[in-house]
Structure 1
Amino acid sequence: MTQPIAPHLRRLATVLCSALTAATLTLAPLTSLAAPPTPSADDDDAPAVPPAEAPARTTDVTEAKRLFDAGVARYSAADYGAAIDYWLEANTLLPPTAEFSLVKAELIYNVARAQQKWFEIDDDVKHLRQAREILSSYLGDLDSLYDPAQATLEREKLEEQIADLDAKIAAWEEDRRRREAELAERMRPSFDFAADAREAKRNKAMLSAGATLTAFGLAGVGMFSAGVALASSADRQLGDLPLEANIETREQVILRGQGGTALIVVGSISGLIFLSCGVPLVAVAAKAERGRKKRRAEAGVEAAAPLLLPGGGGVGFVGRF
């Protein structure tokens, strides 16, 4: 759908046409005045006459008018990037003189307006930021471009547009933060409470089994220690018996020593087996439980925790839904 040409574009076209006419009328006499007499063949010392600048200047203004019109056509077709390129090129062709200062300023103003329209198409916030910079710069030139009354009116309009741009930029940034938060939430894996409960039960069973085996292993270590003590005591007692001691007494001491030896063997074997199974099982269960709690924390889920309140207590639950 073709967009209507904005009023400020029509005004700028009128100003540019007027400037072009004025430049042509003003510069036309300069062409004839600048035309030098043809030097004679005998006048070898005649200085070279520089080319007249007036035709080139008129040509630049004419080309700037053509580029401006081309930019208006692209603006009406919603091709804002091409319109900006045309207007910036036209701006470079216009002479940096007082008579064209207003035209150049309004060309840049049109670039800012095109940037805002461009944002509505691709939602790239850089267009709004560039438009704001252009309008802020244009705001500082108002006093030199307009009479005081007109400058005041233009300043009010520009300040309103800059405030609107600030609001749009803030809204875009807030919307981006919201979208990023939503994306992060969607990418976060959903928490499986059933699997978590099964893992907690498994870890608890592993921990209980490991603790039981470790306890048996420690009992084996105790048995081993008791056997060592019993065997050592029997050995010392047997060595202290006199030669005339009866055989029955010696047999009792020897039996205690053999019992201690049996305790050493059974305790060492059972302690080694049970501890070698129980301790790793406890370590694996503890590591698995830490991993489970870490996943719960990352998912925003925490286990029930006691709450100590004045005059009573309770259980609190924290979770993500």
Structure 2
Amino acid sequence: SFLEGSKYYELGQYPIAIEKFERAWELSNEPLLLFNLGQAYWKWFEVDPNPEHLRRAKQNFENYDKRMRGSAGYDPTEVHRYVERIGEQLAKAEETAEARTERELRAREESERRRMWIERERQVVTGLNASGITLITLGSLTLAMGLSGLIARQANKIVLDQSAGGPREVNLNSSEEDAKHRDAYLLGGQIAYAGFIIGGILLPIGITLKVLGGARERRALGRKDKKPKADVAVSPDGTLTVHF
């Protein structure tokens, strides 16, 4: 297992090398294998920057130092230097991981706030558009009603003018018919007046609401109004022409 672990370590296949070294350690309890495990975990961090690899590397070097301490010819200087360097790397890696986690959390919170804001804006836009369409429809209907009233008024006026005639002409309509046409004439005027006034109020309000709804929708979705592009051309006689 040790030889296989060394082979995979040289090939850069550190997870497999670690597996082989751990198996060899279970069989022999040779302290040098702890050193090899520390190196393998440390190298693994270079290709997979997971702070856990550094923690395991530091732990294996420290365990190696404990087992070798007091042995003849053992110099702990190198191992202590490794442990110190790994400790510095681990602190930086944990700080980086924490900062990354915090950044991702802030990004998710900002995304959620943005989503909720867009949803609220959509509801407002839907309300503005619905109100605008309703008012535009009502305004158009009242204008049409006013126009119908005006037409009816003019039609009854023509009938009354014809029935009145001149001083020498005979009125063929009865007094009841004249009264009916006069009432219709007055009613048509009232309908026309009311229709034009109400329609003149409702239509601008409805159009304004629709415009506001469109503007808020573009703002919520981050779209901007496209400005028309203009091409400028100068003719040989010096005339300036602008094409949109």
TM-score by length of structure 2 reads 0.46
* Larger CA Rg, structure 1 vs 2: 1
